[in-house]
């Protein structure tokens, strides 16, 4: 097959990657060249330099000579492999990954870099990497062929045993094994966080963001770290970007809502929490924070509803439940609502507001009730109407009349309270002024 633009471009890319030391990238490009043109002499030659197995290198060089028997580089490469094989005793150990001969005392393969022995997290014995379990104590070690995942599991085991130096070394091996895997980067950063190496965690998350800028989890985790460091502006920016990329993760919505609450941005926090609860109706912490937001917005009925739900979901012994019950005790009346919002309580509240006007009218009539003038009586009626509306807006918003007018919630919310309360205060003040003017 003659060279095509595609083959030429792939070959250039593979050679450039090989020269830069990016073996995996070089392998992929050169294998594509060979798939398109199996008699490409240069592709086979360069491929022999970026694969780990001695046997595979020999196959590549043999293929070069099959295409061009006079290729000096292939001839030299085969002679080198022959000298290596002759120099190593037949009984020498070999690398479990690339099968190259390795010295008996070596800890890593000189050919591919594969770790040859690991320390058992339980007993500390050094074990050959091929062992899935420790032959001394039976501790599960894993399969080294799992690559980065193998090292991540091993690093977690070291952390559990507080063997931090070994954990750090193994985390580095995991990242080196798969430097471009988003899940590996996330796991590596999380392990750094567990070890309180937050600078390394931040560096890993930022490197992950550079490679995968659409992954919201990286921004959320950075936001959590910045928040712990009291870098509030940076934390909010990270969380907002995380929510922008993925608005369906309740924990991220909650954490951003917490920042908004701290800044007094209640309406923004409310929107995030309502979405979090819509996605996960059993998220107790979201119900608890939503209750706080509703309470600060003056919507006590909704606050009580969500405090109750948070306590129910969290269980009686949890911190969330205890906090919810403490707040409920402040918000919920000790008497049934039929007493606190009935006509009796409405009359009591209205009468309390009318006491100054009644005393003023009585003084105006020289303490003789039947001497109260029609104008003062009209002022008393005006003030009584105002006192009733004032009491409805401030103290008994769900009395029967207000429920008939506005529905079951009564005078709830800022605009309803203003609609009822402001005219009430004005009427009460006008009536009081007229009575005082007669004295």
Which of these, 151, 27, 39, lies nearest to 98 by C-alpha position?
27
Which of these, 352, 344, 340, lies nearest to 398 by C-alpha position?
340
Q: How far is the first Cα of the chain from the last one, in angstroms, to the nearest whole number? A: 116
Asked if the structure places residue 60 within a domain, the reply is: yes
Asked if the structure places residue 365 within a domain, the reply is: yes
Asked if the structure places residue 374 within a domain, the reply is: yes
What six digits make up the tokens of 162?
């507080």
Place of tokens 């099959």: 66
> What is the rounded CA–CA span in Å between residue 427 and residue 430?
5
Provide the pLDDT for residue 367: 67
What predicted TM-score, i.e. pTM, was given to this entire model? 0.56
- The DSSP bridge partners found for residue 108 are 115
Place of tokens 């009395």: 399
pLDDT at residue 69 tops 60? yes
Confidence of residue 335 (pLDDT cuts 50, 70, 90): very low
What six digits make up the tokens of 49?
């330099």
Asked if the structure places residue 356 within a domain, the reply is: yes
pLDDT at residue 2 tops 60? no
Domain that holds residue 404: 337-438
Asked if the structure places residue 281 within a domain, the reply is: no
User: What domain count does the chain have?
Assistant: 2
Of 66, 90, 114, which residue is a domain's last?
90
Extract the runs of DSSP E, i.e. beta strands, from 260-315.
none
Asked if the structure places residue 389 within a domain, the reply is: yes
Asked if the structure places residue 183 within a domain, the reply is: no
Residues 393/420, Cβ–Cβ less than 8 Å: yes
Asked if the structure places residue 432 within a domain, the reply is: yes
Confidence of residue 205 (pLDDT cuts 50, 70, 90): very high
Of 47, 64, 90, which residue is a domain's last?
90
Lowest mean pLDDT among 212-216, 345-349, 358-362: 358-362
Lowest mean pLDDT among 119-133, 289-303, 365-379: 365-379
**Cα-trace Rg, the chain:** 39
How many whole angstroms from its chain centre is CA 395?
Answer: 41
SS3 214: coil
pLDDT at residue 91 tops 70? no
Of 29, 61, 90, which residue is a domain's last?
90
Fill in the DSSP letter of residue 281: T
User: In the predicted model, what is the mean pLDDT of the chain?
Assistant: 86
Tens of pLDDT, residue by residue over 219-263, are 999 999 999 999 999 999 999 999 999 999 999 999 999 999 999
Fill in the DSSP letter of residue 119: E
Q: Which helix (H) or strand (E) holds 102?
A: strand 101-102
């Amino acid at each position: 097959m003659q060279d095509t633009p595609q083959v030429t471009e792939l070959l250039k890319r593979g050679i450039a990657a090989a020269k830069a030391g990016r073996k995996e990238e070089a392998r992929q490009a050169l294998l594509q060249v060979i798939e398109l043109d199996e008699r490409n002499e240069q592709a086979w030659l360069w491929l022999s330099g970026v694969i780990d197995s001695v046997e595979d290198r020999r196959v590549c060089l043999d293929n070069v000579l099959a295409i061009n028997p006079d290729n000096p580089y292939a001839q030299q490469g085969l002679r080198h492999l022959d000298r290596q094989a002759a120099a190593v005793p037949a009984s020498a150990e070999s690398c479990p990954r690339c099968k190259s001969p390795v010295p008996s005392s070596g800890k890593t393969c000189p050919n591919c870099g594969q770790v040859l022995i690991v320390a058992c997290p339980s007993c500390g014995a050094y074990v050959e990497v091929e062992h899935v379990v420790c032959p001394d104590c039976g501790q599960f070690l894993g399969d080294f062929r799992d690559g980065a995942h193998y090292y991540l599991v091993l690093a977690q085991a070291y952390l559990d045993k507080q063997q931090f130096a070994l954990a750090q070394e193994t985390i580095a091996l995991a990242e080196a094994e798969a430097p471009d895997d988003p899940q590996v980067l996330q796991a590596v950063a999380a392990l750094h966080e567990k070890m309180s190496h937050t600078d390394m965690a931040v560096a890993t998350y930022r490197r992950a963001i550079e490679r995968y800028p659409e992954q919201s989890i990286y921004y959320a985790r950075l936001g959590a770290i910045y928040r712990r460091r009291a870098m509030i502006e940076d934390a909010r920016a990270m969380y907002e970007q995380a929510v922008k990329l993925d608005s369906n993760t309740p924990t991220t919505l909650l954490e951003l809502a917490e920042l908004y609450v701290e800044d007094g941005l209640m309406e923004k926090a409310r929107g995030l929490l309502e979405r979090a609860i819509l996605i996960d109706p059993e998220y107790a912490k979201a119900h608890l924070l939503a209750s706080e937001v509703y309470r600060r917005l003056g919507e006590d009925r909704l606050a009580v509803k969500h405090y109750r739900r948070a306590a129910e979901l969290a269980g009686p012994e949890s911190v969330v439940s205890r906090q919810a019950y403490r707040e409920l005790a402040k918000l919920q009346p000790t008497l049934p609502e039929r007493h606190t919002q009935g006509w009796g309580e409405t009359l009591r509240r209205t009468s309390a507001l009318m006491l100054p006007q009644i005393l003023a009218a009585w003084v105006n009539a020289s303490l003789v009730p039947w001497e109260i003038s029609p104008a003062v009586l009209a002022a008393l009626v005006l003030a009584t109407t105002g006192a009733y509306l004032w009491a409805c807006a401030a103290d008994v918003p769900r009395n029967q009349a207000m429920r008939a007018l506005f529905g079951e919630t009564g005078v709830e919310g800022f605009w309803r309270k203003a609609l009822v309360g402001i005219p009430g205060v004005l009427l009460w003040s006008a009536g009081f002024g007229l009575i005082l003017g007669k004295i």
